[in-house]
């Protein structure tokens, strides 16, 4: 949801204190403006605590970094906006640690939001290509200047064969609604010996549809892991969706349909090409 202009002005005012788990506005507001700010903060999960020592909107989790992401984006999550739920800082560290990124690694972030993951990946020396379907968020990613390339568009429509080679690492937190489609598509952009790390709806651990079952079997076969994340992992981002962390390590000869696997296919077809 887009911040009303007056609420955005108040929340970005340097006098407004956004620290730890609370937002405190230590100056007078007109009644209508106060009501708008109060509405936004409550929609984001805050609760007004009027005790003299506090007088702030208090959140159940650290709001500071997440609020920074929202104010940068000019919006806060709503279920109707392509599932934008920024990855909270602690989880960003966990995902990027799990990916094992070294300086010079090429890294794909295929649903980058406003860069919660890309910022940390770049700090570790990764060269990031980012996709984001929402033009406003893609513009924010470009303005941040961290990524090697930013593509505004539908990652699922991107042909992996347009890349000459795969990525060393894929780090992602795709929309919860069709996360597995994003992960399976993303694997086609990975080198044979790359790693993919993703957040996913926890349902992946037990869904019985063929695609989920086959994916779990494949992850086990390559020595990967699907582990539950704490229930409140995304509470700070305004959703109680339960999630898991997916880790897929590639290696030469595995059954993963990686970028290298795709590249090998035309050579195999050449065997049947009479003119070859
Ligand atoms: C759950 S948010 C995560 C954002 C970011 N990865 C992060 O960790 O903070 C998912 C993001 O994917 C974007 N998205 C949804 N469908 C997409 C698609 N088909 N291609 C590219 N981006 C997409 C949404 O706009 C949203 O910003």
Best residue for ligand 1 mutational test, from 111, 198, 200 (most atoms within 8 Å of Cβ)? 111
Highest mean pLDDT: which range of 39-43, 141-145, 186-190: 186-190
Calculate mean pLDDT across residues 252-256.
93
Q: At 114, is the pLDDT very low, low, confident or very high (cuts 50, 70, 90)?
A: confident
Calculate mean pLDDT across residues 41-59.
89
Best residue for ligand 1 mutational test, from 66, 75, 174, 177 (most atoms within 8 Å of Cβ)? 174
DSSP result, 145-211:
T-SSEEEES-GGG--GGGSSS-EEEEEE---GGGHHHHHHHHHTTEEEEEEEEEEEEGGGGT--SHH
Domain boundaries, the chain: 5-73, 89-262
- Model confidence at 4: pLDDT above 60: yes
Q: At 79, is the pLDDT very low, low, confident or very high (cuts 50, 70, 90)?
A: very low
Q: Is residue 115 a contact partner of residue 130, using CB atoms and an 8 Å limit?
A: yes
If one counts every other C-beta atom within 10 angstroms of the C-beta of residue 206, the result is 9
- The dihedrals phi and psi of 125, each to the nearest 5 degrees, come to 95, 10
Best residue for ligand 1 mutational test, from 66, 69, 78, 84 (most atoms within 8 Å of Cβ)? 84
CATH class in words for 89-262: alpha beta
Mean pLDDT, all residues of the chain: 91
Ligand 1 residue neighbourhood (C-beta within 6 Å): 82-87, 111-113, 116-117, 131-134, 137, 154-156, 173-175
Burial 173-190 (b: 16+ CB within 10 A, else e): bbbbeebbebbbbbbbbb
List the alpha helices (DSSP H) in 53-127.
64-73, 89-99, 116-123
Rounded percentage of the chain residues whose pLDDT exceeds 90: 72
Q: At 61, is the pLDDT very low, low, confident or very high (cuts 50, 70, 90)?
A: low
DSSP class of 236? G
Least confident of 27-31, 70-74, 75-79, 113-117: 75-79
Q: Which two tokens stand for residue 127?
A: 């060269």
- Model confidence at 80: pLDDT above 70: no
pTM of the model: 0.82
- Ligand 1 atom nearest to 86, measured from its CA: 9
Q: Is residue 41 a contact partner of residue 57, using CB atoms and an 8 Å limit?
A: yes
């Amino acid at each position: 949801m887009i911040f009303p202009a007056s609420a955005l002005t108040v929340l970005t005012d340097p006098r407004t204190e956004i620290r730890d788990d609370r937002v405190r506005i230590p100056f007078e507001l007109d009644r209508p403006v106060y009501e708008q700010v109060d509405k936004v903060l409550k929609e984001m999960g805050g609760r007004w605590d009027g005790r003299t020592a506090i007088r702030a909107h208090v959140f159940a989790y650290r709001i500071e970094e997440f609020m920074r992401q929202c104010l940068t984006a000019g919006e806060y999550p709503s279920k109707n906006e392509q599932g934008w739920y920024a990855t909270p800082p602690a989880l960003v560290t966990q995902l990027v640690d799990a990916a094992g990124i070294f300086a010079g690694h090429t890294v794909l972030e295929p649903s980058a939001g406003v860069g919660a993951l890309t910022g940390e990946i770049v700090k570790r020396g990764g060269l990031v290509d980012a996709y984001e379907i929402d033009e406003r968020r893609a513009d924010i990613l470009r303005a941040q200047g961290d990524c090697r390339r930013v593509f505004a568009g539908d990652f699922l429509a991107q042909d992996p064969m347009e890349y000459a080679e795969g990525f060393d690492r894929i780090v992602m937190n795709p929309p919860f609604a069709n996360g597995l489609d994003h992960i399976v598509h993303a694997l086609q952009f990975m080198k044979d010996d790359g790693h993919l790390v993703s957040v996913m709806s926890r349902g992946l651990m037990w869904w019985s549809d063929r695609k989920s079952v086959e994916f779990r079997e494949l992850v086990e076969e390559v020595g990967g892991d699907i582990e539950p994340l704490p229930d409140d992992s995304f509470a700070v981002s305004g959703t109680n969706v339960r999630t898991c962390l997916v880790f897929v390590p590639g290696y030469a000869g595995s059954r993963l349909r990686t970028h290298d696997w795709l590249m090998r296919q035309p050579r195999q077809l050449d065997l049947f090409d009479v003119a070859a």
